[in-house]
Amino acid sequence: MAELSAALKQKARALGADLAKAASADRWQSPPPFDAGKVFVYPHTGYRPDELLPSARSVIMVAVRLLDGVVDTTTTACRTTGVQGNFAYVHLNRQLHDVTFGLARWLEDEWGYRSVPLGYNIGSRYDSRADEDSSIIGPAHGLFSMKRAAVLAGLGRKARNGLVASPELGTRMRLGCVLTAAPLASDPLLEGDPCPASCDICFRACATGALTRDGRVDHLKCFSDAGRRGTRFDELRAEFRKRYPPDAPGVDYTQNDFLSIDGADNRMCRIACVAMCPLGQRKLPDVVRRLKTFDRVVEKVELTGFPPAQDAGSGLK
């Protein structure tokens, strides 16, 4: 087990991953086999590892870092997201597919363990319960939660902006996953909150006010993408449901999965929650200075018609 785990991480780096961690599929049990009061995990959504791969014994998480310069382009007044769309999403999505497929093939060919590459994502679904319960601010979920898996594999911790933060890369990374029948040694879990107690940079920077003080993201506010898809709750929800169909009998999910596979429908959001985040070893020394003028670069969006429960819970008043 130790030999394979060490060889796996070396192979992941050779394929282009900046980080690689692994965990036994047992960590996905409920109740969890660890102290959830010390390890802050994301809620369970989507499928468990053994539901996607019945023989799954381990979950491998990899990360590829965002270039500092690419992130910097999102904090300028230039009216383009071409750099971000291509080199923070599309190119890295393909790289994560290459890394995870390469690992899965290596595990099968060289070690004889059945493995499934999940790449960066394999599609998302809409939780229709949010139509009846206005307190549900995050109705979209992936078929497999990459963020939950990153925490359970010891790759990072849940930051207050809703993103995973690793000690090395902070939140400036994209995640990919492999499910495997290989019995791998589990990396240690990371405990606690990675964010400084007084830090509120991401809340102040988000143009749509999508972040809550307890580390949740309002998906519809985030989906407004600085006004590109509208500003009213009802129109945003209608567009959101088109993009993320409910996972229910009789509902067509193939177009949604195609968009996920193809990398289409890239965001216009300036990812301020990433660009302004000070976490990680590669510090951006001018974050505070940029924050002071960021509302002149990307104007705040006035969203209307949201249920009181969502506005009251934002903590942004």
3-state secondary structure of 141: strand
What are the φ/ψ torsions at residue 43 (nearest 5 degrees)? -60, 150
Collect all residues with Cβ–Cβ distance below 8 Å to 260 and sequence separation of at least 6.
121, 122, 123, 124
Distance, CA of 313 to CA of 317 (rounded, Å): 9
Contact 140, 129 (CB under 8 A): no
Residue 49 DSSP symbol:
H
Task: Answer whether 0.75 is exceeded by the pTM.
Answer: yes
Contact 180, 116 (CB under 8 A): yes
Walk along the chain (317 residues) and give the pLDDT tens digit of each residue: 889 999 999 999 999 999 999 999 999 998 999 999 999 999 999 999 999 999 999 999 999 999 999 988 888 888 777 888 889 988 999 999 999 999 999 999 999 999 999 999 877 889 989 989 988 999 998 889 999 999 999 999 999 999 999 999 999 999 999 999 999 999 999 999 999 998 999 999 999 999 988 778 999 999 998 778 889 999 999 988 888 888 777 887 776 676 666 555 555 677 889 988 999 998 777 787 888 888 888 888 899 999 988 875 444 43
Strands 58-65 and 173-180: antiparallel
3-state secondary structure of 17: coil
Helix axes 91-111, 2-15, angle to 10 degrees: 140
* CB-based burial, 130-164: b 16+ in 10 Å, e otherwise: beeeeeebbbbbbbbbbbbbbbbbbbbbbbbbbbb
